[in-house]
């Protein structure tokens, strides 16, 4: 995570410097505020990556002398065939459509559909604990 943290550190410095230069050059308030807020958001991400990097073991990406084989191995579990993401996308599209036309009844339906599909996605591989009788 150190590589990502450094990357966002550079982005944060760039946006704050761009805000200063833009403020001196253009004297326009909205652009300055936008650049400062963008720098603040990238600072939040950089802080998170620094926080996580201190608490996790070093990865192959963080070692400049690492070989490609050092990064081999299992990366995690990825569902081979799940239709829940399609349902989440459809419910989110329905919610966006409801907000675009401000149809509150459709927004309520979309939020319920969104909650159901996200719940299905999260608990897709959940198994209940064994009952001991």
5-35 residue pLDDT tens:
999 999 999 999 999 999 999 988 999 999 9
Length of the chain: 133
Return the sign of the alpha-carbon dihedral for residues 65, 68, 71, 72: negative
Residue with tokens 């073991």: 57
Average pLDDT over residues 51-64: 82
- Better-scored residue on pLDDT, 64 or 40: 40
Is the distance from CB of 5 to CB of 49 less than 8 angstroms?
Answer: yes
pLDDT at 104 over 60: yes
The HSE-up count of residue 93 (CA atoms within 13 Å, CB side) is 6
Is the distance from CB of 11 to CB of 42 less than 8 angstroms?
Answer: yes
34-38, 62-66, 74-78: least confidently modelled range = 74-78
Give the end-to-end CA distance of the chain in Å, rounded to a whole number: 46
DSSP 80: S
Residue with tokens 């650049």: 35
77-86, 88-97, 116-125: least confidently modelled range = 77-86
CA distance 8 to 90: 32
pLDDT in the model for residue 58: 76
Average pLDDT over residues 55-70: 82
For 59, phi and psi rounded to 5 degrees?
-105, 170
pLDDT in the model for residue 133: 52
| Tens-digit pLDDT profile for residues 114-125 | 999 999 998 888
pLDDT in the model for residue 111: 97
CA distance 95 to 110: 5
């Amino acid at each position: 995570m150190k590589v990502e943290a450094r990357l966002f550190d550079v982005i944060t410095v760039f946006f704050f410097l761009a805000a200063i230069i833009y403020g001196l050059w253009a004297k326009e308030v909205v652009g300055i505020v936008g650049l400062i807020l963008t720098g603040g958001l990238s600072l939040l991400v950089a802080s998170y990556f620094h926080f996580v990097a201190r608490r996790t073991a070093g990865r192959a990406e963080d070692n400049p002398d690492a070989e490609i084989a050092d990064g081999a191995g299992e990366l995690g579990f990825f569902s081979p065939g799940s239709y829940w993401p399609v349902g989440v996308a459809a419910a989110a599209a329905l919610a966006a459509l409801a907000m675009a036309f401000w149809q509150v009844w459709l927004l309520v339906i979309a939020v319920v559909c969104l909650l159901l599909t996200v719940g299905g996605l999260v608990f897709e591989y959940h198994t209940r604990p064994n009952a001991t009788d």
